Amino acid sequence: MILDYYCTDHEIVCCRAGISHEHRLCQNVLPLELASNDVRKSALFNDVMEDMTHIITTLNALDNNRQSNLQSMEESKSAITKQIRAVKSKILKQIDDLERELLTNLSSLQRKHEIDINKQKQEISQVLVNVIENKNEMDFLSDHGSKNQLFIFFRQQVTNIHSAEVKIQQIVSDSQEFDITFDEKKDGKLESLGSLSEYFQQCQVQYKPKKFQQAQIKAEPMKNNQGFEKDTVLKLNTNVVKSLFSVSVTDDNKLLITNIKSSAPKLYVYRDCKDYETEITFSSAPYCVAVIPGTNRAVITLPYAMSIQFINTTTMTKSDKVNMGFECNGITAGRDRIYVGGTGGTIKALDTNGKILKTIRQRSEDIYIMVYNDLHDQLIVRCFNKLLCVKVDGTLVYSKNVSGVSGVILDRQRNIYFAGFETHNIQRISSDEENCEEMLNKDNDIDYPYGMCFNNDFTKLFVINNYRKSVCVYKCK
């Protein structure tokens, strides 16, 4: 039968027979014509179209990621092959050096013993010549000499023989039989030139399914803020010298404000974004604070300690520091990533437990403030007199000249708001990056603005103002 009805209780399209058998007790069965009315303006239409685009984009990104992984492994293989050959050459050179050293020592030992032995041979030859001469003379006298001559000669030879014996005994006592041997190094077996390690990390391509809406519920487009109206100035419960830097809001509506003054390195906490609750003191000046969405945790940069530190926003207690290895200023967080930026344009990507996943080198400018755009998977980065938009792989999307170093935030529609420190204004770039307009200026009491944030329902804007001395609150129209 024709499917011409829709049961909103079960969210299923059915036929007339199905209604009488399976949906007779359902109270919200609509004709398909009515249920599908304005379907092209419905959230279902938007969600399906967005999800298909999202899936295609994700699959293309995954395919590119896999191809990039294959290419990087090939590059790694080539680099490692060169390393192995370099290690081999180094070891062979060491073996050649050891061989030359041993052969040099062998020649030196041989020459030393040859000198001693040749000296002894000369002494032996001298004694032997004298004895042979005496022997020849004795033979001649024995045949031709008189008895008197023979007797006198024999008496002389007694002394000569005695001297020869003494000399021979001396030579024998001084003589040693020299030899040189080679003891092979027993543990000289070369086991390995090194080792290979596999490194695994989560694929950088992420996929987050979108939730389908029912066709009969029309998707109401979110409207941009039309403007702002000054509401109040936050009453700061402190008399210390202030140099406020960053402001953020937790999921349970607590306002977090950092003070970078060295005499008071603190994080101030205001419940319901208005009433002072407590403060946390740090070992060095805390610069930027970012709340990890969907959790009771925030994370703060401590640039002079080259570290970040996690905070429990329910108990307002500190966790251990995580060393970044560089002077880190800006920080921003998504649901599964934390990005930390600082000197030399360095950006490090971390998981939400603080484990460093990769380092992104984007430019040479120092990074002071940054925010993550989850819609486009981009980072909006604030450098001195520059606003940069970069992909999470470090690729520059665009660069814009701005005034000084001040805050940058996103609204619900992912429009970009950035402050001009010396121009005393706040401007907005549309999410499609087509338009830029001024939203607040000196007429609205904007004076040397710095850190900014919206509250959770985007009805209020908090601005660190007056050269980092106060926090102004503006209502969103």
Residues 398-430 have pLDDT tens digits of 999 999 999 999 998 889 999 999 999 999 998
At residue 140, the pLDDT reads 87
Q: Cα separations (Å) of 194 from 72, 80, 93, 198, 211?
A: 21, 11, 17, 14, 51
132 domain residue, yes or no: yes
The answer on 368 and 245 residing in a single domain is yes
Q: Which among 133, 159, 174 is the end of a domain?
A: 174
Torsion-angle region of 359 (φ positive above 0: left; ψ -120 to 50: alpha; else: beta): beta
The answer on 391 and 271 residing in a single domain is yes
At residue 183, the pLDDT reads 79
At residue 433, the pLDDT reads 82
Whole-number Å distance between alpha carbons of 254 and 270: 6
The answer on 269 and 157 residing in a single domain is no
The answer on 259 and 362 residing in a single domain is yes
Residue 119 backbone dihedrals phi, psi, to 5 degrees: -65, -45
233 domain residue, yes or no: yes
* Number of domains into which the chain is organized: 2
Q: Which residues pair with 5 in a beta bridge?
A: 14, 31
Whole-number Å distance between alpha carbons of 29 and 248: 46
User: Which residues does the chain have with pLDDT short of 70?
Assistant: 16-17, 19-20, 23-25, 27-28, 33-34, 43, 186-190, 194, 196-223, 238, 362-363
Smallest Cα–Cα separation from 219: which of 34, 411, 48?
A: 48
Q: Cα separations (Å) of 347 from 56, 129, 326?
A: 28, 93, 10
Contact 451, 247 (CB under 8 A): yes
For 94-119, letters b (16+ CB in 10 Å) and e give eeeeeeeeeeeeeeeeeeeeeeeeee
At residue 202, the pLDDT reads 64
The answer on 324 and 451 residing in a single domain is yes
According to DSSP, residue 59 is labeled: H
At residue 220, the pLDDT reads 44
The answer on 367 and 266 residing in a single domain is yes
At residue 210, the pLDDT reads 53
The answer on 260 and 164 residing in a single domain is no
Structural domain of 337:
228-476
Cβ contacts of residue 148 below 8 Å, gap of 6+? none
The reported pTM is 0.56
The answer on 401 and 307 residing in a single domain is yes
At residue 452, the pLDDT reads 97
37 domain residue, yes or no: no
Sequence-ordered strand ranges (E) for 226-306: 228-233, 244-249, 254-259, 266-271, 275-281, 289-291, 297-302
Q: Name the residue with tokens 């001084």.
A: 174
Q: How many residues does the chain have?
A: 477
According to DSSP, residue 42 is labeled: B
Order of strands, sheet of 266-271, starting from the edge strand that comes earlier in the sequence: 244-249, 254-259, 266-271, 275-281
The answer on 364 and 266 residing in a single domain is yes
The answer on 413 and 285 residing in a single domain is yes
358 domain residue, yes or no: yes
Contact 351, 367 (CB under 8 A): no
CATH (domain of 316): 2.120.10.30
Whole-number Å distance between alpha carbons of 201 and 358: 9
185 domain residue, yes or no: no
The answer on 282 and 157 residing in a single domain is no
The dihedral formed by the CA atoms of 221, 222, 224 and 227, expressed in degrees to the nearest 10 = 120
51 domain residue, yes or no: no
Whole-number Å distance between alpha carbons of 476 and 31: 41
Question: What is the maximum span of the chain, computed from C-alpha positions, in angstroms?
Answer: 164
30 domain residue, yes or no: no
The answer on 251 and 159 residing in a single domain is no
Count the Cβ atoms, other than its own, within 10 Å of residue 140. Answer: 10
385 domain residue, yes or no: yes
